[in-house]
Amino acid sequence: MSIERIQKTLDSLYQDCAEFNCPPGFKALVISDLHLGIGDEADDFRGNDKDFITVVGGFLGQGFTLILLGDYLDLWENGDSSEIVRAHPLVCQLIEQFRVQRRVIQLVGNHDGSLPYPDALKLLLPSRKILFLTHGHRGDWACDQAGWIGRAFVRYIWAGIGQRVFGLHDPTSARSDVNPGKHQEVRQMYNGWANDRRIHMVWGHTHFGEEVGFSHNDDCWIGQHRGGYTIEDEQLTYHNFA
């Protein structure tokens, strides 16, 4: 993994992405990495539906905008999104309620990059403070430039055999207990970029919630994880909803 490639990629994303002007009183829930599957052994979200509906449904009633930071649907493991909707109807219906009220901001990750949403976005708060949002995989060769290889491996080898046959879980290569070296490297590069440039960034991808200066990692909704950030009164606050 190249430090220069990561830095150039993030510089380009930050420079070229759109801005969203937040109205006065703007408040949002930022979550990442649901990895919704089809309800089988390879579905890393399986069993979290009830908690998700309880937690996220409460924010719907309070007027929050829902920001999804990528890997919402796991389209690396599953090619048909309609099967995912059938497996998690209440979760998808809840997100659709946010969408109908025009209170969803959605970005793509490596596992759902075929969806028609941007890679990054700058939130411009009423005070003119900027929050840079991105999933966290751009610049990582295996997840970005060679993502088609990763998708083939996950769909046909890991999910097809490892998870569905042998019951293994969560193939995310940037997760700490799966690939600790890469996990540490991705964190250092993204945290370093945000802090070197003094840019407030919220991202996901590593399934590991942490706050390091200007860098805020959003955790995930896999297994026992229930992490996310709220934006309220222009303050970022991390929540463990487990």
pLDDT tens-digit series, residues 64-86: 999 999 999 998 888 789 999 99
Using pLDDT thresholds of 50, 70 and 90, give the confidence band for residue 148.
Answer: very low
Query: Edge-to-edge strand order for the sheet containing 130-134?
Result: 18-21, 120-124, 130-134, 200-203, 215-217, 210-212
Q: Using an 8 Å Cβ cutoff, are 72 and 110 in contact?
A: no
Query: Is residue 175 over pLDDT 70?
Result: no
pLDDT at 186: 84
Query: Is residue 170 over pLDDT 90?
Result: no
Angstrom distance (rounded) from CA 204 to CA 63: 23
The 8-class DSSP code of residue 194 comes to H
Sequence-ordered list of residues with C-beta below 8 angstroms from that of 127, at least 6 positions apart, any chain: 234
Residue indicated by tokens 């996310």: 228
Angstrom distance (rounded) from CA 177 to CA 72: 22
Using pLDDT thresholds of 50, 70 and 90, give the confidence band for residue 153.
Answer: low
Using pLDDT thresholds of 50, 70 and 90, give the confidence band for residue 113.
Answer: confident
pLDDT at 166: 41
Q: Using an 8 Å Cβ cutoff, are 79 and 155 in contact?
A: yes
Of 15-19, 136-140, 236-240, minimum mean pLDDT range: 136-140
Highest mean pLDDT of the ranges 40-54, 67-81, 177-191, 227-241: 227-241
Domain that holds residue 234: 3-240
CA dihedral sign, ordered 70, 74, 76, 81: negative
**Interval 91-101: pLDDT, tens:** 999 999 999 99
pLDDT at 185: 84
Sequence-ordered list of residues with C-beta below 8 angstroms from that of 90, at least 6 positions apart, any chain: 49, 53
Query: Is residue 4 over pLDDT 50?
Result: yes
pLDDT at 165: 45
Total structural domains in the chain? Answer: 1
Highest mean pLDDT of the ranges 5-9, 166-170, 215-219: 215-219
Summarize the confidence of residues 23-37 as an average pLDDT. 96
Q: How many CA atoms lie within 13 A of 237 on its CB side?
A: 10
- Average pLDDT of every residue of the chain: 86
CATH code of the domain in which 55 resides: 3.60.21.10
Query: Is residue 177 over pLDDT 60?
Result: no
Of 24-28, 83-87, 159-163, 208-212, minimum mean pLDDT range: 159-163
Residue indicated by tokens 């929540």: 239
Paired with 121 in beta bridges are 18, 133
